[in-house]
Structure 1
Amino acid sequence: MECLKVRELNIFRPATKSMPFDTSPTINFIASLFAPLRLSSHFDLDVASGIAIFIGGNSAVSALALRPLYGQLWHGWYNTPGCHAIVWELVRTLFQTSFSSEYSERLAVSIGISGRKGPKYIASRSGTVMPQTCYLADMLVHSNWRGKECDPAVVGVRGSPSPTKVTIVDFKKSIPTGNDTLRPRSSRNSSILIIPTATSIVACAFCASMEDWLAFTMILLGMVCSGIASFILSTGKITLGEQLKPARGVPPGDGMLLSDTHIVILRGNEEDVNAVTKGKLRLKLKGGDCTLLLCAFLVSLQVALQLVFMPFASLAGQLMFLLSLLMSGACNLYLSAKEDDIRSNALFTLLNTPEVKTYEARSRASAAVLACLALCWESRTPAKEILQELVPIKPRPWAACSACLAQNIQEQNGEFMYSPELKEMLDEGENNFLTDLIDDVHAAYDRYIKDHPDNTRMRR
C-alpha cells in the first residue's frame, strides 16, 4: 500500500512544481558544451598550449617585415605564434656591430627587407661587369613583377620547356634616395589580416563568457604586444641609401641583369641604375635603438608569460588560445608564401614607377635579340658583345646569324633582312639550324620594332 501511495503521488504531482524552461543566452549554452571537457581526463593540452607559441618563427618574421610596406597601423593586432624568432632577430640587430654601424641597415637585413645578393650585371655602354649586385636587383629578377600588371608578350613560334623572360625597365623619372625616398606601398593580400584579428577577438570574448580570465589575459596579451610591435614597425620609414653622383659627361648606365631564366634590361641615368645595382635599403624607426629595444622587450614578455601561465588555463580556454594561434599562423604562412609578390608590388613605387615592358621569349636566341635591340639600337653599342654574353655558343649557324643581326642593328633596318648566301657556306644540318635561328630572330626583331616605334627611328 505504501508503494502504491508513492506511485500515486508521483503520477498526480502538480504541474506547477515542474522545473521552469532555461532561457539562457546562446553564448552561455555554447560555453556549457565545453564544461565536461574541464573534467575529462582524456585530453591534456597543457604542454601543447605552451609549446605552440614556438611554431612558425620564420613566417612570423616574414609577416612582420611586411608591416612597413603596408603602412597600416591596424595590422598585426592579433595573438601570433613564432614571436621567439622575432625576438632573436631584433636582439641580433641591437648587438651586431660588425655588419654596419647603422642600426637601420642591420634591421633591414635581419627582418629580410634587404641583404640578399643580386645577379650579375653588365653595363652595355661602359663595359662594367658586376659579378654581384644588391637586393633591389635581386627583387627585379626573381619576383613575379610584371610592371603595370600586364601579361608578358609571347615572342617566337617554337615551344620551349623553359622560356626566357625579358623585362625592359625605363627610368623616365629619377629615383629619390636618402630622406627623399618614396615610401614603398603595397595593398596586396592586406585584407587577409582581418581574419586573425577577428579570431583573436572572438577567442577573448569566448574566454570571458566562460570566466576563464587566465586564458582571456594571455590572448589579450598576445594581441597587445604583437600589435604594439607591428605599430612601431608600420611607422618606420624605408629609405634607399644615398648614391654618389656620377661625374659629368658619364653616359647613361644602360645594362642588363642576368639569371638563368630572366633578363632584366635597365635603361636610364647612371645614378638611377646605380640605385638598383648598388643601393642598400634601410628601415629607420622613430627613437632608433631605444624603440627597437622596446619592441624586443614587449615580444619577449609575451613569449615568457604565455609559456609559463597558459598551461594553467582551462581546457576550453586552451582550445581558444590554440585556435587564435592556428588562424594567425596560417595567415602568416600565407603572407610568407606571397612575400616576393607583395614586395615587388611595393618596389614599383620605390623606383618611382618606371616604364616596363615584359616579354616571354620561346628561345634563348629570341631573348638575346630583344636584349640586344633594347641596349644597342640607340646607343650604337656593338651588338656582338651583348650577344656573346647572352648566348655564348660558337656553332657556325649562330655565328652567321649573329653577324647578320649586328649588321641590321647597325644599319637600323626597320625589318630584319638576311642574305641567302649565308646558307651556301653551311651543310644541310647546319642550314636547318640556321633556318630555326632566323625564324626566332625575325619574330623578336619585328615584335620589338612594333612595340617601340618611338625608340626605333629607322634610317632612311
Structure 2
Amino acid sequence: MAPLLSRLVQLAPRFNDDSGVLHQPQSLNKSSFTLDSSGVAGFFGGDTAVSGMATVNLFKYRRWGGWYNTPGSYEIAKQYGQLANSRLWDGLFPGGTHDPSQLFGLDGKAGPDFLAARSGSSFTHTGHLAYLLTRKAGRMRGVRDDEGRTTTPASVTVVDLHHVPEERVEPPLRWSGSGLLAIVPIAASFTACVICALTWDWFCFASIALGIIASGSACFVLGSGKLTFKHHNPAKGAPPGDGILKGGGGVVVLRGQEGAVNSVTRGRYFLRYQPPRPSKSPTRTGTRRKTLGRGSLDKGLPDGMELPTLQQTDANATSASDVKPRLPPESQPRNVFIGFAAILLTLQFLIQLLLIPQGQLLGQILFVATLAVSWAYNTFLSSIDREDIQTTILVDDILKLEQDHIKKFEFGNWTAMSVFACLALQPDANDPLRKPRKLLDGLIPNDTEVWECWKAKIVQKLSSNAPWTFTSADWELKELDEEEQELLETLLKDAEVAYGVWSRWRAGRRSPTPATAVNA
C-alpha cells in the first residue's frame, strides 16, 4: 500500500513555491503502474451476466443489444455452451441441460395437482404454465362475500377459458425500455475502444473489442430462438375439460373446452431455433408392422410427445408426467453457431487476462470502467421478473383472457372454499357433476365418520336443484355422538355459506368486483 500511495503522490500536480509554476505529472500513458489482471477478472462476477442473458428471448430486439464488453464471459460460456448439444461441446462444457426452455427459465417449474370434473384426465402434477396461472391467482386481490367462520383462509379463483389456442402459437414479443438502456453500456464500450486507439494502446483496444464481439455474437445467437407455445389438440367430441388446480392457499377453477384447459395443464413454452420439419406422409400399415418398435411407435404420437414406459401404460396412471413431453427437434440451436459463440466467450476471458497487463494505465482504467457499466446493466436485467413476463404472454396472447374472465373469492375456511369450487364447476343447475364425490375427496381427503356423513350430504345437494338448507335432522344422526353432531352441524353451516355466495354470484344480485392483480 505504501509504494502505491507514494506513486500517486508523484503523479499528482504540484506547484513550485518560488516561481508558482505548475509542474505537470507524468503521463498516465507512460506510467509503469499496471492493474492486477487476476483482480480485474475476478472483481465482477458472472452471475448477473448469466441471469441478464436469460432475458434475451423475452423482449423485442433484445438480441441486438449485447454489443458491449461484459464481465463473466466464461460463466456465460459454461452455462449456455451446453446448448450446442454435441460430443465436442459437451466435453468442453459438461453437465447441465440441453433444453433451452429450461435453461432460460421458460419451463421446469412443477404446477399443482389437477382434478378433472368431467373429462376424467386428472393429473397429480401439472407443468410450468399451470404454475404461472396459479401464481397469478395467488397474487390477485379477492373479495370476501360471506360472514362465515374463519379458521384457515382459502380462496377460489374462477377462470373462464373462452379461447382454444392453436396447437402452436408464436406470441409477439413486447418492447421494453431495457432495449434503450443497452445504449449506455454499448456507448461506454465503443468510446473506450476509440480512446484506446487514439492513445495507441492496442492491447486494451483489442481486449475491449474482443469483449464487444464475443458478447454481441452470443446474445445474437442465443436470442435467435423464437418463443413458441405448444399443446396437443384433444380428440373430437371430448367433454369439457373443467377442473380444479389445487394449490396451497386455495384452488383455481378452470372452466372451458378440453383444448383450452389442456393448454394450461399440458401446454409448454419452448424456443424454436430451426424451421419445423415438414410432416412425412403416413406409411402403410404393412410397412409399419415390419419396423414395429419403440422408435416407429413414437412417430405415430402427436409431435412433442413420446410413449410412456411399461410401468406408465397402466390405465390408472393419472399424472401429467406419465407421458413426458419430448423436446421438439427445432428447439435445438445450430451446433456450429452456438458452439463458436461459447468458444469466443472463453477466448475473451483468456485473452483479456493476457493482454490487459500489457496495456497502459489509462486503457486499463477504461477497461474496468466498461466492465462496471456493463455489470450495472446486467444487474438491471437480472432484476426483471421473467415469470411476470411469461404470465402476461400466457394470459394476454395465448389464453386471451379479459378482466371479467377471472374472479377471485375469499373464504374463511377450507370447507366453504371446497363447496364453492364444486358449485362453480356446475354453472348450469340442469347439468350437475357426474362424480362430485371424487372432487370432494381430492379437496378434503379426511375420511372420518363425520366427514363421510358431510360428504354424503354435499353430494346429495349437488345432485339436486333444491336450495341448500340444513336442519337438525341432517346432523342429529344416531351413529354420531354429541360432539360429532356439533362438528357436523358446523361443517354443514359452512356449506350453506358457500352456497349463498355462489347463488348471489350466479344471480348477479350481489356480484363481487372482479379481482385485480397485484404486481402481475
- TM class, shorter-length: 0.7 to 0.9
1:60, distance to aligned residue in structure 2 (A): 4.2
* CA distance 1:50–1:85, change in 2 (3 Å): closer
Query: Are 1:351 and 2:398 counterparts?
Result: yes
Aligned to 1:201: 187
Query: Are 1:239 and 2:228 counterparts?
Result: yes
Query: Are 1:118 and 2:111 counterparts?
Result: yes
Query: Are 1:419 and 2:462 counterparts?
Result: no
Distance 2:26 2:443 in 1: 68
Distance 1:227 1:145 in 2: 38
Write the deviation string for residues 79-100 of structure 1: whole angstroms up to 9, x where unpaired: 4444445434544333269xxx
Unaligned runs of 5+ in 1: 1-9, 23-31, 98-104, 455-460
Distance 2:32 2:154 in 1: 63
1:391, distance to aligned residue in structure 2 (A): 0.7
1:316, distance to aligned residue in structure 2 (A): 1.8
Percent same amino acid at aligned positions? Answer: 24
Unaligned runs of 5+ in 2: 1-16, 88-97, 276-329, 509-520
Distance 1:38 1:436 in 2: 85
Distance 1:79 1:49 in 2: 13
Aligned residue pairs, count: 408
Aligned to 1:92: 82
Q: Is the contact between residue 78 and residue 328 of structure 1 (CA under 8 Å) also seen in structure 2? A: no
Q: Is the contact between residue 81 and residue 328 of structure 1 (CA under 8 Å) also seen in structure 2? A: no
Helix, strand or coil for the counterpart of 1:130? coil
Aligned to 1:383: 436
In the TM superposition, 1:444-455 aligns within 5 A as 444-453=498-507
Query: Are 1:333 and 2:382 counterparts?
Result: yes
In the TM superposition, 1:170-181 aligns within 5 A as 170-178=160-168, 181=169
With normalisation by structure 2, the TM-score equals 0.65
Aligned to 2:462: 409
Helix, strand or coil for the counterpart of 2:409? strand
Aligned to 1:302: 345
Match for 1:276 among 261, 264, 268?
Answer: 264
Q: Is the contact between residue 81 and residue 338 of structure 2 (CA under 8 Å) also seen in structure 1? A: no
1:388, distance to aligned residue in structure 2 (A): 1.2
Aligned to 1:153: 143
With normalisation by structure 1, the TM-score equals 0.73
In the TM superposition, 1:17-166 aligns within 5 A as 44-52=35-43, 55-56=46-47, 60-73=49-62, 74-95=64-85, 106-141=99-134, 143-144=135-136, 151-154=141-144, 158-159=149-150, 163-166=153-156
Aligned to 1:7: none
More helix by share: 1
* CA distance 1:347–1:61, change in 2 (3 Å): farther
* CA distance 1:66–1:20, change in 2 (3 Å): closer
Q: Is the contact between residue 176 and residue 182 of structure 1 (CA under 8 Å) also seen in structure 2? A: no
1:439, distance to aligned residue in structure 2 (A): 5.0
Aligned to 1:5: none
* CA distance 1:322–1:87, change in 2 (3 Å): closer
Helix, strand or coil for the counterpart of 1:327? helix
Distance 1:218 1:439 in 2: 74
Amino acid at match of 2:46: I
1:183, distance to aligned residue in structure 2 (A): 0.6
* CA distance 1:318–1:61, change in 2 (3 Å): closer
Aligned to 1:28: none
Q: Is the contact between residue 122 and residue 130 of structure 1 (CA under 8 Å) also seen in structure 2? A: yes
Write the deviation string for residues 207-239 of structure 1: whole angstroms up to 9, x where unpaired: 755746654554454444434443455453233
1:350, distance to aligned residue in structure 2 (A): 4.2
Distance 1:308 1:435 in 2: 77
Match for 2:248 among 250, 260, 263?
Answer: 260
Q: Is the contact between residue 422 and residue 436 of structure 2 (CA under 8 Å) also seen in structure 1? A: yes
Helix, strand or coil for the counterpart of 1:282? strand
Q: Is the contact between residue 186 and residue 346 of structure 1 (CA under 8 Å) also seen in structure 2? A: no
1:387, distance to aligned residue in structure 2 (A): 1.1
Write the deviation string for residues 33-52 of structure 1: whole angstroms up to 9, x where unpaired: 995997668xx542132235
Amino acid at match of 1:300: I
Helix, strand or coil for the counterpart of 2:227? strand
Q: Is the contact between residue 182 and residue 349 of structure 1 (CA under 8 Å) also seen in structure 2? A: no
Amino acid at match of 1:333: S
Write the deviation string for residues 126-170 of structure 1: whole angstroms up to 9, x where unpaired: 3333233333223323x3357xx962334665555x644433222
Amino acid at match of 2:85: F
